[in-house]
A and B are shown apart, each in its own frame.
Chain A
Amino acid sequence: MGRRDGAVVPDAEFRSYYGRPILKKPVWKQPDVPLYLWLGGIAGTSAALAEGARLSDRPALERVARLAAAAGSGIGSIVLVHDLGRPERFLNMLRVFKVTSPLSVGSWLLAGFSTAASVSAASHETARLRPVGRLAGFAAATLGPPLATYTAVLLANTAVPAWHEAYRELPFLFAGSATAATGGLAMLAVPVAEAGPARRLAVAGVALDLAAEHRLESRLGMLAEPYQQQRPGRFLRAARGLNLAGAAGAVLGGRSRAVSSLSGLALLGGSLLTRFAVFQAGLASAEDPKYTVVPQRERMRARESQLA
């Protein structure tokens, strides 16, 4: 996207065919897909958190994290199948493996992860097949972080301007959002004495989330508008408030049960709102031909002036 550094506000003059959109708006449904982004993030991060909890001997944290990984990916899979136009054909997702399709990569990732996370959680709950459970837990912890960030590529690898042009920041935004939400969940569900890592994770997640979002909005120029205006803008501002409140609670009141719970809820809510905001910002940018034509024209001008 060449010379766009936020300083120059591009000329919004453009021509179109009766103001109609050039792109087709994603047919992905709400709340299905934003919900999946949120659940996948929590599940993936939780699987990694569970291994840390095991190694550092925090049984309550480990239990919550293992259950969150299994439940998050399980519900996430159901939500994704529900989003298909032909849900009965969901197994076709595993018909081929294509690196050019983030959805193909993601389906395999999700299938592997949710199997591993379920086995690990079941073994941990029932205290049976310990070695298998261990191995499964380790596998889930390895697949978890990619599961939490590949969804950014899923969105970015489209022609949707606000998603595609944000491909550098979206994975970090999603990693931050997932980390904050996972920290929040553990703060909510784990006794404060064992939740130290969760609190630190929450604060780090919020920091990463805010930094990535800031970078995205300053680098994208005109394409930052869909993230700042209308409903997505309101959602992101609310998410920022919740995230900051949650992080403050983790730092200042982490030893209090009540503050921990409230902060945890705020962080979970902040992450969910972020996912909806990103999703809807994409829809808005696909619907308005301005976001297709103006940046492309600008790109062409930049190319021409480089040649000249």
Chain B
Amino acid sequence: MSNRLSGPLDDVTGDAGYEAHPERMGFFTDTSVCIGCKACEVACKEWNFVPEDGLLLTGMSYDNTQQLDANSWRHVAFVEQTKPVQAPSPTVNTSASTDLGMPTVGLPGAQDPQAADNGDIGVRWLMSSDVCKHCTHAACLDVCPTGSLFRTEFGTVVVQQDICNGCGYCVPACPYGVIDQRKDDGRVFKCTMCYDRLGVGEQPACAKACPTESIQFGPLDELRERAQQRVERLHEQGIDEARLYGESPDDGVGGDGAFFLLLDEPEVYGMPPDPVVTTRDLAAMWRQAGAAALTLTVGVALSFVGRSR
């Protein structure tokens, strides 16, 4: 039971009952090359016919989308950080892809791929396109009482809209705050990793639209290898804060089907630092509830013992 509810799981698709199935597909979002163009957000909306999510000026840098929810399945986070830049800033051999249209102010080739040299105060932009993590152990799927949420043959997690009855259980179950209810509809919606496109051998709309290959789509095993190389290269270049997030099968959700390369702590981007699938503790919870029910039964029985009326 433990392996089915938490911990590493090699063949998540096979575990879900598929006999012959394609490789597990995933996203690797390399935020070090994200330029904040939001092409992914737009492509997702267009392809999946996702309705408008309210128009609002938030004052949160360039982020008016604010969060992932029922009507935003990709969300580009913008963080502006000021930090002193050591002068003279070392010239770093950035790879071709990191040079693509970065919104830098001042000299290129600052120490950080998303840093800009601006006198003695550097402005560092962190941009990251967030998405459903398509967890190995997906809490949303575990708790769904109708079977509406299911594991596809690609190892992704998808809502079947004709079955969802809007019970809302998946919403607080997700440790990343991804899935949400569409208020005027009653049902829940989230990223499907473009299940329809995958079915015909196409890549998801966001990955296709991404001009810098910040969003990479492919077999999860390949992506994990590629990400490892990328983070090592960044470390060699002196960018020590580069780290992978969600790539490890040993994490609290058994690894994400959509994982990230980040340049700061996950909570800075609005992601939990140590997410755990809630069902990891479910057996213990049922035991507690059973013991409490037993206590209650004994209590009722004892109340009839003793003094007459």
Contacts and interface: CB of A to CB of B under 8 A. Distances in A.
B167 interface: yes
A145 B303 contact: no
Contacts of A198: 303
B290 A160 contact: no
A15 B166 contact: no
Interface in A22-68: 22-28, 44-45, 48-49, 52, 55-56, 58
Interface string B30-73: 00000000000000000000000000001010000011010000
Given A49-B300, A84-B167, A164-B281, A296 B273 contact: yes
A172 B295 CA distance: 8
A174 interface: yes
B171 to A, nearest CB: 5
A34 B71 CA distance: 28
A231 interface: no
Contact of B270 (A16, A152, A174): A16
Contacts of A293: 267, 272-273
Contacts of B177: 21-24, 159
Contacts of A25: 171-172
B292 A159 contact: no
Between B178, B179, B181, B186, the greatest number of chain A beta carbons within 10 A of the residue's beta carbon is seen for B186
B284 interface: yes
Contacts of A22: 176-177, 267, 270-272
A252 interface: no
B123 interface: no
Interface string A168-186: 1011101100110001000
A14 B196 CA distance: 40
A289 B67 CA distance: 13
Between B269, B293, B297, the greatest number of chain A beta carbons within 10 A of the residue's beta carbon is seen for B293
Interface string B265-305: 10111111111101101101110111111111101111110
A49 B296 CA distance: 10
Interface in A186-207: 193-194, 196-198, 200-201, 204-205
Nearest to A164: B278
B5 interface: yes
A23 B67 CA distance: 10
B307 to A, nearest CB: 7
B265 A15 contact: yes
Nearest to A168: B288
A45 B172 contact: no
Nearest to A191: B309
Contacts of A104: 145-146
B242 interface: no
Q: Chain A interface: which size bin?
A: 35 or more
Contact of A85 (B147, B165, B265, B281): B165
A86 interface: yes
B263 to A, nearest CB: 13
Contact of B165 (A28, A90, A194, A208): A90
Given A45-B296, A160-B172, A100 B282 contact: yes
Given A17-B269, A157-B279, A159-B175, A172 B288 contact: yes
Contacts of B9: none
A292 interface: yes
Contacts of B295: 172, 175, 208
Contacts of A149: 289-290, 292-293, 296
A266 B187 CA distance: 39
A96 B147 CA distance: 7
Contacts of A297: 273-274
A128 interface: no
B249 interface: no
A175 B181 contact: no
Interface string A78-100: 00000111110110110110111
A150 B302 CA distance: 22
B278 A157 contact: yes
B181 to A, nearest CB: 5
Contact of B145 (A27, A98, A201, A299): A98
Contact of B299 (A174, A201, A296): A201
Given A86-B165, A208-B299, A15 B289 contact: no
Contacts of A168: 284, 288
Closest 8 CB pairs of A and B: A85-B166, A85-B186, A17-B270, A171-B292, A89-B165, A104-B145, A145-B293, A296-B274
Interface of A: 14-18, 20-28, 44-45, 48-49, 52, 55-56, 58, 83-87, 89-90, 92-93, 95-96, 98-104, 107, 145-146, 148-150, 152-153, 156-160, 164, 167-168, 170-172, 174-175, 178-179, 183, 193-194, 196-198, 200-201, 204-205, 208, 282, 286, 289, 292-293, 296-297, 299-300
Given A17-B270, A149-B293, 20 more contacts: A17-B267, A17-B268, A23-B175, A24-B179, A28-B168, A49-B300, A86-B164, A92-B164, A96-B147, A104-B146, A149-B290, A157-B278, A157-B282, A159-B177, A160-B172, A171-B293, A175-B293, A201-B300, A296-B274, A300-B273
7 contacts: A22-B177, A23-B175, A24-B177, A101-B169, A158-B172, A179-B300, A196-B308
